[in-house]
Chain A
């Protein structure tokens, strides 16, 4: 790690004013990603600002409209095992528990989960070109080893994927991110939070300098009756997704009143296709209809030398996960290949 100074922020305002001053002043909460990146010299800091002593962003509060707000400083484990989340938003709970290890979930915070960086090996290797790490230097993955990389939303500047599981569920649940910054508070729809690479792959999201995440709001609708999270990876546990799917369905006599499907591990952000969800609305919950939706979701997908298998894998995962959502009992540990 580079030599840096360390300070603690007593409240959100002082955290904002510290990070607003300089790009080198960075927030540390759980530290599981930033310290790893700093050890590899992918990230450097002048000052790390510790926000762990801000209790008001470390809790769950009910919102007037019936939804809830989850503090950005709550750990992934405390969120996933919170009785309210387990009961009303089991999709979120399952997705969080599919990610990382028990130790990391005990440390990592919800805000940090949203802000984690890609695990593209070239991003991590400071001896290779990478537009995300060093804008303009080129992408080593396009003609390199790209088995874990994107099949959707990529371009010649960057084919990295966003690695979070939690965010795939937040995308399907249409969460809203609340942030505090130099100009006060604002809310960002989840679909607008993360970015596609475009010409600025170094920017993972739309957070501005000095802004920090204070909470994640979940709407009332939690799809707690028909939901499923499926994660496919190279080993049974403690590995990033090759493809993951979050599904939430609202059914009436097997007719879909609403359908949400989000993919992880396939793009620079969680992937949702409204056209596919609209297609399912009003239709019967059958394998055939899910297959047609999967085709719509993967429309325009293209792979590289080592990852084209992900296109078919994603389609089959969508169908399988939607079928599992019809019977959440089928997700008990041992009943799915991911556990």
Chain B
């Protein structure tokens, strides 16, 4: 039987460095929630099917449940806790409120990180393309129409700048 040692790693989350001792199989999701106590990122399916655990790594949206914490050193990780700046909501966060883009809220942190990733990518031009490129985030309450409305509003409406 293998005796595996913990690895010493440093994660840069929302601009703060966190030094952790983790076993290799600890997911980024579990490291964020259980070790760094950032519980905004949610565990839904834990298998990459629901998108609730979406975070931004170097500005790109990825699934923290299918990432190992030991593989995310030397990256900049942004969770939903790091989106608002100085108490001012990110335009996407404000748009989610304005457009009724959630009900229970469990998928919302992942939806918001995913939507910001979509805006960073700048590939979705039409509503249909936004729908397609947001399909990795499930909403079981059925707030999808509001979610897409919110993303479209930020894309199209200068008042969200």
Contacts and interface: CB of A to CB of B under 8 A. Distances in A.
B70 interface: yes
A40 B117 CA distance: 29
Interface residues of A, number: 33
Contacts of B62: 103, 106-107
Interface in A259-273: none
Interface residues of B, number: 36
Interface in A303-337: 333-334
Contacts of A103: 48, 51, 54, 61-63, 114, 117, 136
A81 interface: yes
Given A1-B25, A238-B136, A81 B51 contact: no
A14 B71 CA distance: 18
A5 B131 contact: no
B34 interface: no
B97 interface: no
A274 interface: no
Contacts of B51: 101, 103
A332 B148 CA distance: 20
A50 interface: yes
Given A31-B71, A32-B66, A46-B2, A333 B48 contact: no
Interface hub of B7, B54, B117, B133 (most chain A Cβ within 10 A)? B133
A339 B128 contact: yes
Nearest to B54: A103
Given A4-B2, A36-B48, A36-B66, A81 B126 contact: no
Contacts of A5: 2, 4, 24
B47 interface: yes
A52 B133 CA distance: 25
Contact of A52 (B2, B47, B71, B129): B71
B74 to A, nearest CB: 9
A100 B136 CA distance: 8
Interface string A23-48: 00000100110011011100000101
B46 interface: yes
A34 to B, nearest CB: 9
Contact of B118 (A3, A28, A102): A102
B81 interface: no
A106 B2 contact: no
A4 B4 contact: yes
B61 A102 contact: yes
Interface in A196-255: 236-238
A265 B123 CA distance: 27
B131 A237 contact: yes
| B contacts with A: majority SS | mixed
Contacts of B27: 35
A333 B2 contact: no
A48 B54 CA distance: 23
Given A46-B2, A102-B121, A334-B128, A36 B71 contact: no
B33 to A, nearest CB: 16
B67 interface: yes
Contact of A28 (B23, B54, B71, B135): B71
Contact of B46 (A2, A39, A50, A52): A39
Contacts of B153: none
Contact of A32 (B63, B114, B118, B133): B63
Contacts of B67: 31, 35, 107
Interface in A265-316: none
A36 B74 CA distance: 24
A5 B3 CA distance: 8
Interface string B28-72: 000000000000000000111001001000001111001110110
Q: Which 10 residue pairs are nearest across A and B when measured between Cβ atoms?
A: A101-B136, A6-B24, A237-B135, A238-B135, A1-B25, A106-B60, A103-B136, A334-B128, A103-B63, A237-B132
27 contacts: A3-B23, A4-B4, A6-B7, A28-B68, A35-B66, A36-B47, A36-B48, A39-B47, A40-B47, A48-B24, A50-B70, A52-B71, A77-B121, A81-B123, A101-B51, A101-B135, A102-B118, A102-B136, A103-B61, A103-B62, A103-B117, A103-B136, A106-B60, A236-B132, A236-B135, A333-B126, A333-B132
Interface of B: 2, 4, 7, 23-25, 27, 46-48, 51, 54, 60-63, 66-68, 70-71, 114, 117-118, 121, 123, 126, 128-129, 131-137
Interface of A: 1-6, 28, 31-32, 35-36, 38-40, 46, 48, 50, 52, 77, 81, 100-104, 106-107, 236-238, 333-334, 339
